[in-house]
Amino acid sequence: MAGCGADGLCNLELPGGYCYVDAGEHCCPDGSESTPINEAGDRWCMRSCQRDRDCGRNEDTYLCLEEARICWSCFAADAVVEVGAPCDDDRGCSPPAGVCLTEEFGFPGGYCSQPASVCCPEGSIGLNIQEDPPLPACIDLCQADRDCRPEYQCLDAGDGDSVCWPGGGEG
């Protein structure tokens, strides 16, 4: 596509279009990172960043995913992580935005989330799940324990919100 370079492709599902290079077929150009974009392991070369302003677009639309160090849109059709779904690793949580909060962080059976520094999908809110260093993550909203997975319970998160948090029964 014109404007995306000789090897570039354009994903028109992302706001304003997003130029990328298929990392499975080409080397990533300077200023980009090879990034998994789906559970199948397909990879794109995507613009590198250190902070939101490096993304060169409207900062309300494209933000820097700090963990992956790439620019991404919260509004991408495939950027919606199923917050609260069980997982074994990040690949099971809609890469590149999705992360798996593992038992190491106190989440039994793994817990799909995404960095709350980016944005949280509808039905979830950002909470700091670790104090030092701070680790803001998207956590599922709930109204009662039955809205949560069996090993999670619905707890008051403040400001009138309740979230599914580790500590429920085993079934």
Dihedral sign for Cα atoms in the order 140, 110, 91, 29: positive
Tens of pLDDT, residues 126-171: 888 877 777 788 899 999 999 999 999 999 988 789 999 998 655 4
Q: Six-digit token pair at 123? A: 């039905």
pLDDT at 144: 95
Dihedral sign for Cα atoms in the order 36, 38, 43, 48: negative
Name 7's Cβ contacts closer than 8 Å, sequence gap at least 6: 21, 22, 25, 26
Q: Decide: pTM greater than 0.75.
A: no
Spans of the chain below 70 pLDDT: 1-2, 13-15, 38-39, 57-61, 66-67, 74-80, 95-96, 117-118, 168-171
pLDDT at 71: 79
pLDDT at 77: 46
Cβ 112 vs Cβ 84: under 8 Å: yes
Cβ 13 vs Cβ 78: under 8 Å: yes
d(CA 48, CA 107): 30
Sketch the domain layout of the chain as residue ranges.
8-73, 90-166
d(CA 128, CA 147): 21
